[in-house]
Every structure is written in C-alpha cells, then in structure tokens.
Amino acid sequence: MNRNNILDSCLKVHPFINNHALPCQSYTTIYDPGKLTNIVGKAGVSTPEDVDQAVKAAHQGFLSWGKLEPQERVEKVMLASDVLENSISDLAHLLVREHGGLLQEAKMDFRGGYGNFKYYENIVEEFMEAEEKEDEKSWIRIENKPKGVVAAIVPWNMPVVLTMMKLVPALMTGNTIVVKPSPRAPLALTLLLQRMAAVLPNGVINVVLGDDDVGAALTSHPLVKKVAFTGGCENGKKVMVNAASSLKGVTLELGGNDPAIILDDAPIEELMPRLVKGIFTRAGQICYAIKRLYVPQAMLKDFFDLMCEHLKDYRVGHGLDEHATMGPVNNLEQFRFVRELINEAKENGAVVRELGSKCDPDNWDNGYYILPHVVIDKEHTTRLVHCEQFGPVIPITPYETIEEAIAMANDSNYGLASSIWTGDYERGKKLAPQLEAGLTFINVHGLGSTAMGMPFGGIKDSGVGREMSAEPTLYAYTDFHAMRLLK
C-alpha cells in the first residue's frame, strides 16, 4: 500500500514524546474545509500531564543534545531536512485537505520550510564559535549557549514553514523542542515531525496536540526556557503573560493589517498581477498579505476596474481541483467573520464588487467558499479597513496627497508589513522608511516577497522579535555566557 492510500484510510495522529506515540482519551475530528462532509482524519488531544511529560522528555534530551559540537548537530538536523523534502509528495495533498489551500500553495509551504534548513546550515557553526579577548590585565571568553527546551506554537495557514522558522534555529543552536500544531490543521505537520524526529535522538522533537489549554500548560511550564509563537494578537498576549511566570524569552509573530500604497507613477497594468497575488494567495489568509490599499483619487476608477478585470478570471474551488485559482477559507468562524465584514461594508454604503466564478457550484455550500471581493471605502471608516480580515476581500481608499496616504497607512495598532508601488525606485526607497512596520516592500508584497536573512517580524501589536535571519533569530535561542580571568 502506498503512502497516499495509507493517508486516506481512517488517519489518526497522536502526540509523541521521545519518538513514541502517546494514546489519547479523546480525539478531534478534522473536516475538509472544501468538502465539509469529508473527514480527513482525527487528532489526539493532549492532557496537561502529557505536556509535562513532553517537556521533561525534551529537557532530558537537551542534556546531551546541547553538548554536541555545533557541526555535528547541524549535520544531524540536515538529515531531517531530507525527510521534509521527501515528504512533500504525500503530505502536501493531506495538508490541502485540512487547511483548504491550493496544492501549489501547500507545496510552497514545504519548500519554504526546507529553505530554513539550507539557510541556517551555513551560518550556525560560525555563530556558535566562542569569542576570546586577552590583554596584559585579563582574559575574556564569551560563549553563546542554548537555552534548553523551546515551545513552538504554530497556526494552520502555513504550518510547515512557520514551524521550521522556529525548529531549525532552535535545534541547530542546541535546544530541544515541543511543538503544538494548530487544532485546525494538525495532521500533516504532526506526521512530518514524527518522520523528522525518527532521524534524531530521543527527546529532540516532541509534539503535543490540542487547543488553548494545552498551549497554556506548555507556555507556563517552568522547564520551558523559550516560547516561539505565531498566531493572533490576543493569543500572543496570553502567551506573553504565561511566559512571564518564569521569565521565558518570547518571539511573537502576530497579526497584521498590511497597507499597500499605490503611487501616482505606478505602472498599474504591469504591477496588477503582483498586487492581486499579494492579496488573494491562500484566500487572503496570510499574516503579511495586503489587507488595505491606498490609491490616488485620480487613479481610483481605472485602478478599481483593472483589479476587477483581473479577478474575473479567478476560479474558486477545492485545493486539489486543478482548475481552482483560490481555495476556501479554513473554518466556520473565519467564514462568518469575513461574510460579516462584507455585509457591513454594503450596509455602510461602500462600493462592493463580487468577482470570479465557482469551480463546482453543486459543492459550493459544502465548503467555506467565498468569492473574491473588492470594496471601495472612500471614508476610511469601515471595520474592514481597520481589522485583520484574513479572507478574500480587499478595501480600497483613495487619497489626495502622499502625506495623507502615509498617515492612513500608519493609523493602525498593527505593524507587520507594508508596501509602496511605484515606477520610480528611488522615490519608493525614500518613502519606505516613513511607514511604521517591521517590513516594507517595494513593488511586491505577500507570500514570496521576503528573503532569507531579511529579519521577519512586526512592531506595535504585530509582535516581538524576528525570525528568518542570522543574528536576531539565533540570539533569541541562545544565552550569553561571559567569563573573565583577572591576571
């Protein structure tokens, strides 16, 4: 029986500790968001006792893993990267069925995860080298030492890359890890981590499964020395409170309400495909997708008409349907929220245009499907403009001056990413520093716009710390140990 057949036959995943699956008293059923009558599998639900056992196993594993030479650790972790690469062929299909994205988006998730291995492989050994200084008075040695057990909590939208952004630097610098996948997409990630754990010593990778109570038990555990979390702002604040009980370090990559400013010199016909991709990839369910647009008043009609023309060709359907260009949203709560935002915009008098077509009209009500929507909010007052909508709808607000556009873009509690779109690169580079965000792009935005080595993270309510980079990330998983001898 091949892997695809195995995955299709009553799949169950369990928490695992020390490379052993842990039976559970209860299981959560995972339904396909594009075919709600289809059960994809079941995921065990961990107890607080399971969390305690997982953390203790990770701590025990750390006692030997953390003592390995950096080169040896990196070589061992790279074996896990081969496992990830070889798992794309079967687990990407499974991931589509539990999170709702397109197959090509799921494969991009895996490839992004693999890229973290290749990036850190070449920099960790040098980073971990001790620094020594000596003069006639004293000798000083400064080491970077692993913290211990790392807790990683990841969401459902891009679970593989978001896990590897934490796991790879954590493990290569000598920490061990306990991962909690999202209860809305735990299957593919758990199977992947089990496969990766099998090529590493016991206790290096562990997984617990469940919802907020499991996360709370994990982030407050006294043996956890570092928490890396990607998710919503309110949950991020709860993580920070839990971590404070034992002064753990935290990296929080939280939500965004990313603005994109279109300048009056922007070649919109040339740039529109990139803009549409930056908005509607994963049905808008990307933390740093474009979530609001600011367009010169004089360009508004032409811009709106051109965007609508591009979106007419969108076909919304199941992620495994080769004809689909956008999948469903992931869950009922998000589906209702996005529909509510669209209806509110209509009630407030905004121009709302529904676009695209249905791949399978007969199955439409059997999934969380929403067609792409473009909204003109001239007053900049709808909730749609000021929240993280996380769905296939984009508000456009016109502006008269660039100062007005920047002021509206910065008028947010969020500060993850932002972008400027222009035909004049120097003008774009001059304006970019004026935006209040952890990331600012020029003529690109959304999935695929970042680069390894470019610190990824936000300011304001969008987070604390940086991932996907050398020093900011690696320092977050290590502690300084300074020694001095006085002659």
Residue 74 sits at φ, ψ, to 5 deg, of -60, -45
Total H helices, total E strands in the chain: 16, 23
Q: Is 24 a catalytic residue?
A: no
Alpha helices in 146-295 (DSSP H): 159-172, 187-197, 212-219, 233-244, 268-280
Distance CA(230)–CA(96), nearest Å, equals 20
Query: Of the residues 98, 105, 436, 467, which is catalytic?
Result: 467
What is the C-alpha to C-alpha distance for residues 386 and 244, in angstroms, rounded to an integer? 30
- CB count within 10 Å of CB 267 equals 11
- How far is residue 18 from each of residues 59, 60, 83, 194, 195, measured CA to CA in Å? 11, 10, 18, 10, 13
Residue 464 forms beta bridges with which residues? 252
Phi and psi torsions of 358, nearest 5°: -95, 130
Q: Which of 253, 277, 436, 460 is catalytic?
A: 253
Strand partners, 41: 30
Q: Which residue among 56, 166, 248, 291 is the active-site one?
A: 166
CA 178 – CA 169 distance, rounded (Å): 14
Q: Which of 24, 233, 287, 359 is catalytic?
A: 287
User: Six-digit token pair at 146?
Assistant: 């692993």
Using DSSP bridges, classify how beta strands 224-230 and 290-296 pair: parallel, antiparallel or unpaired: unpaired
Give every CB contact of residue 303 below 8 A, 6+ residues apart in sequence: 262, 268, 295, 396
Euclidean distance between CA atoms 295 and 272, whole angstroms: 13
Torsion of CA 31, 34, 37, 40, to 10 degrees: -40
Q: Give the chain's radius of gyration (CA, Å).
A: 23
Q: Is 166 a catalytic residue?
A: yes
Distance of CA 419 to the CA centre of its chain: 19
Catalytic residue status for 118: no
The answer to whether 209 and 46 are in contact (CB under 8 A) is yes
Task: Output phi, psi for 248, to 5 deg.
Answer: -75, 150
Nearest partner of 101 among 344, 292, 321, judged by Cα: 321
- Residue 126 has, within 13 A of its CA and on its CB side, a CA count of 6
Residues classed as catalytic: 166, 253, 287, 467
